[in-house]
């Protein structure tokens, strides 16, 4: 207690000296419109820090100028403004097409649900919801320096939707990709806009105070900030994976933290696996996931549809939790490699600025980690290539009359044409199918003849 008292006295003395002797220093700021600045003290001046909880401090413009004049700062920058990366609102619909597109059911059937993994949702807060249950843990409010309060109520609705897409599960079935993962709300805003300093506080709090394994940031800010880069680097050093949105302008604009190399930047695709026209395309795109009219938990306790790269992100966070639930020793770099290797390739071969490494494939990433064959998602499945022909397998105990469709598409995923034919698959039998020419981009679809019910699908970009 005596040491602490001396430190407080020293801080008070420093504040008096600064206020008394430097009042006449002319203003020289990098951004005359900024009202607050994020600063980092030099190592020898760190005792001036008024709050030990963060490795940075937020001060007024005048205080920053005085500290800079005295040579006490390692760096300073205006506190930036970011935003939650949702898009147009929509209404409730019952379809869960997004879980089918990312092949989540394979992980569900194998019992891989993300249990024991904790995900920090850096967002507008998270409200209790029947589909979140006791998996919603206490969190904190990081909106200002009076942080670490327990007020994590979601008055905007964004964070509750994000949480549902990660871990939602209820009487109507799964909504989230990792229905047994734990959610820690780290509130950074009551609306769409938020500050860089709030994001940074949430990252440090999620790691140091709540033991999060993954941080979901369905938000972004244009431009780089030293405080944010240091927070992201700290997460990587602490073995914590950050997943973030790439933005909804439909342009090459880079949003951060998705723009940092260690962060998994996520773009959005629609129900057909086509890239959303609003999803940004640039070097920050690592993966894509459903982000157009996907159903999730609403902050008032019901359900709603949501659109934007914001809502593609939590599905990748959920897949990351599934992998960590299988092997908790995986590093962020190993997780990125697994997700990239198993993604369903779209666009240009390997990586491109629209799809990244492709569309999230939960079952494929689990199979890549465990070495197990992916469990079939439907009554039919395409077998791995063996020679010039492909084989279609009937996984049921009865013969199936099916229609086989072959669709060609361009590098953006736009369909160029479809051919079709009828097949009869014997019970637990296979039928050989000749694939398209080498180098073609295509999709194969199988439907039951009588009802046109989809049974199997496969997309490929050689």
Q: What is the pLDDT of residues 122-147, one digit of tens each?
A: 999 999 999 999 999 999 999 987 65
Place of tokens 């407080």: 8
pLDDT of residue 190: 95
* 70 phi-psi bin (left φ>0, alpha ψ -120 to 50, beta other): alpha
- Ranges of the chain with pLDDT below 70: 1-34, 88-95, 146-148, 172, 372-378, 384-389, 411-415, 434-439, 459-462
pLDDT of residue 440: 73
pLDDT of residue 145: 76
DSSP helix/strand/coil, 441: coil
Active site residue 190: no
Active site residue 158: yes
pLDDT of residue 90: 55
Q: CB–CB of 401/422 below 8 Å?
A: yes
Active-site choice (113, 129, 158, 281)? 158
pLDDT of residue 45: 86
Active-site choice (123, 270, 345, 377)? 123
- Closest alpha carbon to 407 in 432, 438, 378, 435: 435
- Closest alpha carbon to 436 in 414, 457, 405, 413: 405
Percent pLDDT > 90 in the chain is 60
Place of tokens 């589909």: 131
Looking at domain 82-370, its CATH architecture is 3-Layer(aba) Sandwich (3.40)
pLDDT of residue 146: 64
CB neighbour burial string for 185-199, b if at least 16 within 10 angstroms, e if fewer: bbbbbbeeebbbbbb
Active-site choice (310, 317, 342, 381)? 310
Domain range summary for the chain, segments of one domain joined by +: 2-79, 82-370, 380-460
Cβ neighbour number for residue 436 with a 10 Å cutoff: 15
pLDDT of residue 95: 62
pLDDT of residue 435: 67
- Closest alpha carbon to 197 in 228, 233, 234, 218: 228
pLDDT of residue 228: 98
pLDDT of residue 297: 95
For residue range 190-214, what is the model confidence (pLDDT) as tens digits? Answer: 999 999 999 999 999 999 999 999 9
Query: Under CATH, which number does the domain 380-460 receive?
Result: 2.60.40.10
DSSP helix/strand/coil, 445: strand
Active site residue 123: yes
């Amino acid at each position: 207690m005596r040491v602490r008292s001396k430190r407080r006295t020293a801080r008070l003395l420093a504040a008096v000296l600064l206020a008394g002797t430097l009042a006449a220093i002319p203003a020289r700021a990098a951004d005359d419109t900024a009202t607050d600045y994020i600063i980092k003290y030099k190592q020898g001046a760190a005792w001036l820090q008024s709050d030990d909880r963060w490795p940075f401090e937020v001060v007024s413009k005048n205080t920053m100028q005085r500290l800079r004049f005295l040579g006490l700062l390692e760096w300073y920058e205006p506190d930036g403004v970011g935003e939650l990366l949702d898009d147009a609102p929509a209404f409730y619909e019952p379809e869960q097409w997004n879980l089918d597109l990312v092949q989540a059911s394979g992980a569900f059937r194998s019992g891989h649900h993300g249990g024991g993994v904790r995900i920090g949702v850096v967002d507008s807060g998270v409200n209790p919801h029947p589909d979140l249950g006791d998996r919603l843990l206490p969190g904190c409010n990081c909106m200002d320096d009076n942080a670490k309060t327990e007020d994590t109520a979601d008055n905007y609705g964004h964070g509750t939707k994000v949480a549902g897409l990660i871990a939602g599960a209820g009487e109507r079935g799964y909504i989230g990709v990792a229905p047994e993962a734990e959610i820690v709300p780290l509130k950074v805003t009551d609306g769409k806009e938020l500050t860089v300093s709030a994001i940074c506080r949430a990252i440090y709090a999620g790691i140091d105070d709540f033991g999060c394994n993954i941080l979901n940031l369905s938000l972004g800010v244009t431009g780089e900030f030293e405080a944010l880069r240091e927070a992201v680097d700290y997460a990587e050093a602490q073995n914590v994976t950050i997943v973030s949105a790439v933005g909804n302008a439909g342009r090459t604009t880079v949003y951060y933290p998705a723009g940092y190399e260690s962060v998994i930047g996520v773009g959005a695709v629609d129900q057909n696996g086509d890239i959303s026209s609003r999803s940004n395309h640039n070097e920050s795109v690592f993966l894509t996931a459903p982000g157009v009219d996907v159903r999730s938990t609403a902050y008032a306790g019901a359900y709603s549809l949501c659109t934007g790269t914001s809502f593609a992100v939590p599905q990748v966070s959920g897949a990351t939790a599934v992998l960590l639930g299988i092997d908790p020793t995986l590093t962020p770099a190993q997780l990125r490699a697994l997700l990239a290797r198993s993604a369903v390739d779209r666009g240009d071969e390997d990586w491109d600025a629209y799809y990244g490494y492709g569309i999230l494939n939960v079952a494929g990433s689990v199979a890549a980690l465990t070495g197990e064959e992916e469990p079939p998602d439907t009554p039919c499945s395409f077998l791995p290539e063996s020679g010039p022909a492909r084989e279609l397998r009937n996984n049921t105990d009865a013969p199936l009359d099916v229609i086989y469709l072959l669709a060609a598409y361009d590098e953006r995923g736009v369909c160029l044409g479809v051919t079709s034919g009828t097949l009869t698959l014997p019970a637990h039998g296979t039928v050989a199918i000749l694939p398209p020419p080498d180098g073609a981009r295509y999709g194969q679809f199988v439907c039951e003849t009588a009802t046109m019910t989809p049974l199997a699908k496969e997309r490929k970009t050689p």
